[in-house]
A = this chain, B = another copy of it.
Amino acid sequence: MMQKAIILMSGGMDSAVTAGIAAERYEPCFLHVNYGQRTEKRELRAFRMLARYYHVKERLVTELGHFKSIGGSALTDKNIKVPRGFSRKGIPVTYVPFRNANLLAVAVSWAEVIGAERIFIGATEEDSAGYPDCRSDFYNAVNQLIRKGTRTGKIRIVTPVIRMNKTQIIRKGMELNVPFRLTWSCYSLESRACGECDSCLRRLKAFQEAGFKDPVPYRKKNP
């Protein structure tokens, strides 16, 4: 029998490719968190479609309401606009404070109960310029914390795409038949992708560089 692995599945392309990689060696169990992000419903739909595609039996969908209560990020606070264009240097307004630590804490709790020893997350160091919780160092520190603070100490975080850029992630996904048409990356809209936020722009650029057409619909004509 295959060992279980939990995949943090936002519904975006990085987590979809991470799931494709995990599914080669493990039985994938999908975790999705609604944390009051603007595109919550659309992400959940992407999650469900990807879970069906990968025949995922064990799924956990949960709510973390405090991100909306505390605000402080353009993704969770309607008073802060999602900027157009590529984000500049420094921590962008779309940074959700300590979000990945919150998500991984949920994953570790679940892993202890279902007996999964691996937790996959599609973090990339390319993002880490802006998001401090996307660095390798951060994940090493999470592994250290798990060693100290869990029943068996054996659970590990795995970050298979951390050194890839978006273009390499798309190429890897194409090799593994990851269904990019089912993924959702836009920070701002739910019916069609806006094509203007940092996340859309980087996705579109990467598809172009990888030599593929992005299969999701955009509000504006693809560049």
What's the least CB distance linking A100 to chain B, in Å? Answer: 7
A42 cross-chain contacts in B, Cβ below 8 A: none
Q: A71-B113, A97-B112 are in contact. List 9 more A-B contacts (CB 8 A).
A: A60-B69, A98-B149, A101-B109, A105-B105, A132-B149, A132-B153, A141-B141, A141-B145, A144-B145
How far does the alpha carbon of A133 sit from the alpha carbon of B153 in the complex, in Å?
11
A and B contact pairs by CB, cutoff 8 A, 18 listed = A60-B66, A62-B65, A63-B63, A66-B110, A67-B109, A70-B110, A70-B114, A71-B113, A97-B113, A98-B108, A100-B149, A101-B149, A102-B102, A132-B153, A135-B149, A137-B148, A140-B148, A141-B141
* Contact yes or no, A91 B149, CB < 8 A: no
B interface footprint on A105-120 (CB within 8 Å = 1, 0 otherwise)? 1101110111000000
Task: Give the dominant DSSP class at A's interface.
Answer: helix
The listed residue with most B CB atoms (<10 A of its CB), out of A97, A98, A147, is A98
The residues in A between 36 and 89 inclusive whose CB is less than 8 angstroms from any CB of B are 60, 62-67, 69-72
- How far does the Cβ of A127 sit from chain B's closest Cβ, in whole Å? 13
A181 at the interface (CB under 8 A from B): no
CB of A99 within 8 A of CB of B109, answer: yes
Distance in Å: Cβ of A69 to nearest Cβ of chain B = 6
Taking the full assembly, how many copies of this chain does it contain? 2
**Which residue on chain B has the smallest CB distance to residue A68?**
B62
The reply on A95 being an interface residue by CB < 8 A is yes
Pick from B101, B113, B150: contact of A145, CB below 8 A. Answer: B101
In the complex, which residue of chain B has the Cβ closest to the Cβ of A101?
B105
A63 pairs with B60, CB closer than 8 A: no
- Is there an interface contact between A112 and B138, defined as CB atoms closer than 8 Å? no
Q: A91 and B148: CB pair below 8 A?
A: no
Q: Is A142 an interface residue (CB 8 A)?
A: yes
Q: How far is the CA of A135 from the CA of B148 in the complex (A)?
A: 8
CB distance from A208 to the nearest CB of B (A): 32
Residues of B within 8 A of A101 (CB): 105, 108-109, 145, 149
Q: In the docked arrangement, what's the CA distance between A63 and B132, Å?
A: 25
